[in-house]
A = this chain, B = another copy of it.
């Protein structure tokens, strides 16, 4: 056995109790909302066949997929030729499986493999970790959770409106108040490209304006020129990227611009329908902002796109998504339209820490610790411990007789809010001494009173 000092691999994290309790709180709020909106859980395996993942995330993505070495003598199919051809060719000979890179491709695979059993529309949510061999840096890890919800098999824009509702509900429940749900439509972007005389080049335009936050207006324009977009077109584009006013007003300003673009008109019509749903749902529409500069990199979106920013906090988007018309096409099943979005839990966690939104009780597991001074007190405490737990109260008995200070330190370090002190006097009278660890206050109470108080 090695006695070396153990360490974690780069970009990997342990989650100890205090952090995990807060993370689990975020997960539970997300899960609860997904379920109340009728989404059903799905879990796919950690390992997929490498062939399922390869070619879905671009060349760079392929490099970032973690590959798993074949079991047993993985070398037996490798020839010297393979090795001379380099590691990429060798990879295919010694690795057939890889770790999940996102939740979207496994979901598409699941839908295709189970299309005869699934009743469409299929509303699924999935909360699982994914792995990417990215260079680790602040806020970027090699293992992180994604929380996705998608509806496939319907074109209804009710789904888009419900996504906005879910984002609003999750963030509000978590205590966030100042956030903006940005919305745009690929049709608008396509229509704008047409309108400025760059028909068909919306992809390149999107890649550039997607960087607006990072490199500013000037930077975007410079990149557009580098990408061969005409100066004249950029001049026409400029006002369209800084439309202001209410969403209705922005739509009205776009009407004449997009009048000759079928895709542009589709975008306008669909956005108006989403806003109409939201009005009926009575959501505070101030939070929803039509933003013609919202592009989102992923090329598979075909309809509405979303992104969520927390205002007055230095942090990228904490949620995003959109509609795609051909998710399962990559596995030979065309024509399945869907819309989905994802929460970034690591970022939400960081924002909540920064804004001090975690209630102290979130991080507390055990509600009450019973002290343990000697064998007699220990035995006396056993049925009390059991009654507390039966009442649904998380309770512990310190497992051995120890000094008061040690037991108090244990309660403090574990954020246990109450300690039940049981000594000879308490055993005689049956009145137990309940200490509030935050205020220091002590009360003599009957067990029944304690049960009510702690519940």
List A residues at the B interface (Cβ < 8 Å): 1-9, 12-17, 20-21, 24, 35-49, 51-52, 54-56, 63-64, 66-69, 71-76, 78, 83, 86-87, 90-91, 94-97, 99, 109-110, 112-114, 117, 119, 121, 123-124, 129, 131, 133, 142-143, 151, 154-156, 158-159, 165, 277, 280-282, 329-332, 365-366, 369, 378-379, 382-383, 386, 389, 392-397, 399-400, 409-410, 413-414
Partner of A155, one of B51, B56, B121, B400: B400
Q: Are A383 and B282 in contact (CB under 8 A)?
A: yes
- In the bound assembly, the distance between CA atoms of A156 and B396 in angstroms comes to 13
Q: Say how far A156's CB is from chain B's closest CB, in angstroms.
A: 4
Q: Are A96 and B9 in contact (CB under 8 A)?
A: yes
Partner of A41, one of B21, B124, B331, B414: B21
Known A1-B56, A14-B42: A49·B9 in contact at CB below 8 Å: yes
CB neighbours (8 Å) of A395 from chain B are 36-38
Q: Are B42 and A20 in contact (CB under 8 A)?
A: yes
The 8 closest A-B pairs by CB, nearest first: A38-B396, A17-B40, A156-B399, A12-B45, A119-B413, A71-B133, A280-B382, A15-B43
CB neighbours (8 Å) of A75 from chain B are 83, 86-87, 90
Q: Say how far A215's CB is from chain B's closest CB, in angstroms.
A: 28
Q: Which residue of B lies closest to A131 (CB)?
A: B46
CB neighbours (8 Å) of A112 from chain B are 6
- In the bound assembly, the distance between CA atoms of A284 and B110 in angstroms comes to 46
**Assembly stoichiometry (copies):** 2
CB neighbours (8 Å) of A97 from chain B are 9
Q: Which residue of B lies closest to A364 (CB)?
A: B40
Q: Say how far A151's CB is from chain B's closest CB, in angstroms.
A: 7
Q: Which residue of B lies closest to A31 (CB)?
A: B24
Q: Are A392 and B49 in contact (CB under 8 A)?
A: no
Q: Are A38 and B143 in contact (CB under 8 A)?
A: no
Known A282-B386, A366-B38: A54·B113 in contact at CB below 8 Å: no
- In the bound assembly, the distance between CA atoms of A329 and B365 in angstroms comes to 29
Q: Are B3 and A277 in contact (CB under 8 A)?
A: no
Q: Are A158 and B42 in contact (CB under 8 A)?
A: no
Q: Say how far A343's CB is from chain B's closest CB, in angstroms.
A: 18
Partner of A45, one of B9, B35, B113, B410: B9
CB neighbours (8 Å) of A35 from chain B are 365, 394
Q: Which residue of B lies closest to A45 (CB)?
A: B12
